[in-house]
Structures are given as structure tokens and as C-alpha cells.
């Protein structure tokens, strides 16, 4: 089987690697000439365990190549971004539509087209299917169209793409069957066949469920800071209940899924999706909450920021609330940033970030930040203070002040 994958980012490239490993011929398409050139040299642009070896093996045996343009194939998989439109929160399908149009010259009867990008409910039937029908194809007869959303965790993508259950949302039952045959090349989890619109809403609700539960924890953190209760103790005690699992509060929600997908549902039914919108508003407010408390801790000076990835132990900083926090503080403070997982010429070493800092601000839960060099901190800071917005630092020496979501009420 030959597979053409449009988009070689956090999902497209791992998917390409796994199809290549399964003896498929794969062409990975992207609009970035630099990325395409690097991929063909075996230079990988995302941090994900195992992917580098697979891509380099595939290049060596000619089962993978990167290209700026699509090629004829048996199956086409679209894995491009789908941001939301700020004005009305609706799904921006422009990248998906461009990707669909880009493969039209290469489609042949009998091909399967799969949209993996997260899209709003009814997008496949109402906006994507007409593109191919206008080109002369009959969906379910001579072209098979499906929406098959990914559901993976950064840092475990290679494992979860293989082992997680996969929703196969066909425009018709035959479309779902054909798409399942494509994923059957490497997926070992259950292939769940359904309608495209059900698959679309299912993916959006998976991320909305998580966003709402994070919002509950974040709201609790705000309440506790106001009334003088340790939020972390409350969560620990409540979670002793066998049917309660409160999440941990944080600086906000990042990533291309949780921070965006709930809006797709809200935009479709704003009068009904009130809890969803309120949860989004709560999580969107957390950078301001962090900044307000930073200003209570120090009025001026240098802030050493630890981490900008939205997900610990990865280089994935898409929609990271850290950047909003840094932007909001940069007018009033000197900001230095350290993130061992992200290559950025403006970032500095841990030694530099703590040197003469007035506050260490933890914005990411990398393992490297769970146990810090406290001797270095004490020798580098006149009055050592840490504000841990991820609640990952359990204990510090008595001569270092630690703030987290358990004791912010002390600042009031």
C-alpha cells in the first residue's frame, strides 16, 4: 500500500514512520522546504521517543520520502492544523480545505481519503465531502472518505498510535470499512467503525471532558487562595474518595487539542454549550491569575522562568500558557527563560536563569524541575523564592520560600 500523508508535524510524521515500518510506501508532504529537506536527510524536528530511528530506517530502505507536493497513492491522510477563529470560536478549516484541494490532481477511483485533523462536528459532510464531489467522485462508491481522529499523548505518541483504540468515522459504512483497512496496517487497538459526525464530536468531547475537569481544579485553586485553604490538600483529601479524581491546577491549558477543540462544539451550539464555554474561560484566565500572584510576590526585578512546553518532558509548546504569562510580565520584569527540551537561541542555561533572580517561576513539569539544585539557587539569589505553578516541587530547604497552589492565600 502507498500512503500519502499531508502534514509532517506532531501527528503526521509519527504516522508516516509507523506506516513505513509496516512495509508501506510513504510520502510525507509538507509546505516547509526546510522541513522537507531535513526529513530527507533524516533530521527530525520533533522530540518523540523512537521516531528518529524509524524515519532513518525508512529512508535507508526507500519506504519513506518527504515532498513539497503530493503523489499518487492508495490512501491520503490529512494531518494539518485546525486553529479556531477568534471572532466566533469556529473551526478554521482553511488548512484542511487547502490540503484536500492539493490532492485532487492525484486522486484515482478507489482511493481512500482520511482527515485526521480535529474538526468541528458535521465538517466532513458539510464542507469536506463537497470538495471531492465537485471533482466528480461519488463518495462511498469510487472514493472513500472518513474522519479518523488521533488520540495520543506527547511523549508516548509512537506507542499510542499503535495500541490505542481508533475511531473510524466514515461518510458511508463502506468508507469506514475502507479506512479501517488502511489503519489495519499497523494499529493493534480496536478499530471502532462509526459515522463521520459521531467521530468528529467524539474527539472534540474527549478533549472537552479533560478541559472541563482541569477548569474545576483551577477554579478550586482560585477559591482556596481567596478563602485561605490549601487547595492541594483539598484535592488530595477529596481524591481519597473512590469515585473522585480531581485534577491538579496549573498555569493554564496548552496544546493543540484541549485549548482549542472545546470551542468547536461551542461555536456549533453556543446556547447549549454553556458549561463548555465557562470552562474555557476559566482555563484562559489562569495566566492572569499567575501574573497577579507574581506581582504580589515581587514588585520588580528579574524572573527566571523554568519551562515553556505545555507538556512535561516534551518540546511541544503549542498554545502554551507560558508564553502568555511571559508576555504579560515582560513589561515590568526582566525575564530569562530556561527549557532543556526546546532549542531557542534566546533561552539560557539553568545557571544563568537563577543568577541574581528575584523569583524562580516554574511553568512546566519537566522532570528536571522536580529536583532543583538548591545550593546553586541559594548562592545565586539574594532572597530565594520559587513560585511553582505546576505543583511538582515537594520540599525545599527552609531558607528558600516556596509558593504553589497550596499556599497562595498567604499573599492576600
Contacting residues for 406 by C-beta, under 8 A, at least 6 apart: 230, 231, 232, 233, 391
Give the distance, in angstroms, between the CA of residue 29 and the centroid of all CA atoms in the same chain.
21
> Of the listed 129, 203, 268, 311, which one is catalytic?
203
Alpha-carbon distances of 272 from 203, 264, 267, rounded to whole Å: 18, 13, 10
> Of the listed 148, 204, 257, 291, which one is catalytic?
257
Place of cell 538548591: 374
Length of the chain measured in residues: 412
Query: In the structure grid, which three cell numbers stand for residue 152, read together?
Result: 495520543
What sign has the CA pseudo-torsion 397, 384, 219, 207? negative
Contacting residues for 82 by C-beta, under 8 A, at least 6 apart: 91, 92, 93, 95, 96, 117, 118, 119, 260
- Other Cβ atoms closer than 10 A to 141: 12
Q: By the 8 A CB rule, do 320 and 254 touch?
A: yes
How many angstroms separate the CA atoms of 47 and 391, rounded? 24
H/E run at residue 294: helix 286-297
> β-strands 143-147, 166-170: how paired?
antiparallel
Contacting residues for 242 by C-beta, under 8 A, at least 6 apart: none
Q: By the 8 A CB rule, do 188 and 162 touch?
A: yes
Helix axes 286-297, 321-329, angle to 10 degrees: 40
Alpha-carbon distances of 72 from 2, 112, 182, rounded to whole Å: 8, 11, 16
Q: What is the CA radius of gyration of the chain?
A: 23
Q: Is residue 203 flagged as an active site residue?
A: yes
**Eight-state DSSP code of residue 262:** H
Q: By the 8 A CB rule, do 67 and 5 touch?
A: no
Q: Is residue 141 flagged as an active site residue?
A: no
Catalytic residue numbers, as ranges = 203, 257
Amino acid at each position: 500500500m502507498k500512503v500519502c500523508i499531508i502534514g509532517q508535524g506532531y501527528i503526521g510524521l509519527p504516522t508516516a514512520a509507523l506506516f513505513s515500518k509496516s512495509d508501506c510506501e510513504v510520502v510525507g508532504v509538507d509546505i516547509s522546504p526546510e522541513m522537507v529537506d531535513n526529513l530527507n536527510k533524516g533530521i527530525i524536528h520533533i522530540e518523540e521517543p523512537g521516531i528518529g530511528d524509524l524515519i532513518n530506517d525508512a529512508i535507508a530502505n526507500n519506504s519513506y520520502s518527504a515532498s513539497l507536493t503530493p503523489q499518487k497513492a492508495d490512501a491520503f491522510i490529512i494531518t494539518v492544523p485546525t486553529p479556531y477563529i477568534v471572532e466566533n470560536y469556529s473551526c478554521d478549516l482553511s488548512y484542511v480545505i487547502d490540503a484536500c484541494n492539493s490532492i485532487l490532481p492525484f486522486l484515482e477511483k478507489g482511493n481512500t481519503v482520511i482527515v485526521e485533523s480535529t474538526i468541528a462536528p458535521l465538517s466532513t459532510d458539510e464542507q469536506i465531502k463537497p470538495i471531492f464531489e465537485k471533482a466528480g467522485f461519488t463518495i462511498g462508491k469510487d472514493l472513500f472518505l472518513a474522519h479518523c481522529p488521533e488520540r495520543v499523548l506527547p511523549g508516548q505518541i509512537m506507542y499510542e498510535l499503535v495500541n490505542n483504540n481508533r475511531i473510524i468515522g466514515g461518510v458511508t459504512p463502506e468508507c469506514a470499512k475502507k479506512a479501517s483497512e488502511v489503519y489495519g496496517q499497523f494499529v493493534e487497538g480496536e478499530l471502532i467503525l462509526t459515522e463521520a459526525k459521531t467521530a468528529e464530536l467524539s474527539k472534540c468531547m474527549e478533549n472537552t471532558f479533560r478541559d472541563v475537569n482541569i477548569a474545576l481544579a483551577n477554579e478550586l485553586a482560585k477559591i482556596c487562595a481567596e478563602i485561605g485553604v490549601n487547595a492541594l490538600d483539598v484535592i488530595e483529601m477529596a481524591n481519597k474518595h473512590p469515585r473522585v479524581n480531581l485534577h491538579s491546577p496549573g498555569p493554564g491549558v496548552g496544546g493543540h487539542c484541549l485549548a482549542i477543540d472545546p470551542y468547536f462544539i461551542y461555536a456549533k451550539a453556543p446556547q447549549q454549550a454553556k458549561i463548555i464555554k465557562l470552562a474555557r474561560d476559566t482555563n484562559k484566565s489562569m495566566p492572569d491569575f499567575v501574573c497577579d500572584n507574581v506581582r504580589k510576590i515581587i514588585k520588580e526585578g528579574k524572573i527566571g522562568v523554568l519551562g515553556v512546553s505545555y507538556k512535561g518532558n516534551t518540546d511541544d509548546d503549542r498554545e502554551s500558557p507560558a508564553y502568555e504569562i511571559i508576555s504579560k510580565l515582560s513589561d515590568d520584569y526582566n525575564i530569562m527563560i530556561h527549557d532543556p527540551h526546546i532549542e531557542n537561541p534566546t533561552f539560557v542555561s539553568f545557571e544563568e536563569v537563577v543568577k541574581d533572580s528575584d523569583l524562580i517561576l516554574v511553568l512546566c513539569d519537566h522532570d528536571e524541575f522536580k529536583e532543583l539544585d538548591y545550593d546553586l539557587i541559594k548562592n545565586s539569589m539574594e532572597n530565594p523564592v520559587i513560585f511553582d505553578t505546576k505543583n511538582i516541587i515537594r520540599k525545599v530547604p527552609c531558607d528558600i520560600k516556596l509558593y504553589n497552589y497550596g499556599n497562595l492565600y498567604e499573599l492576600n
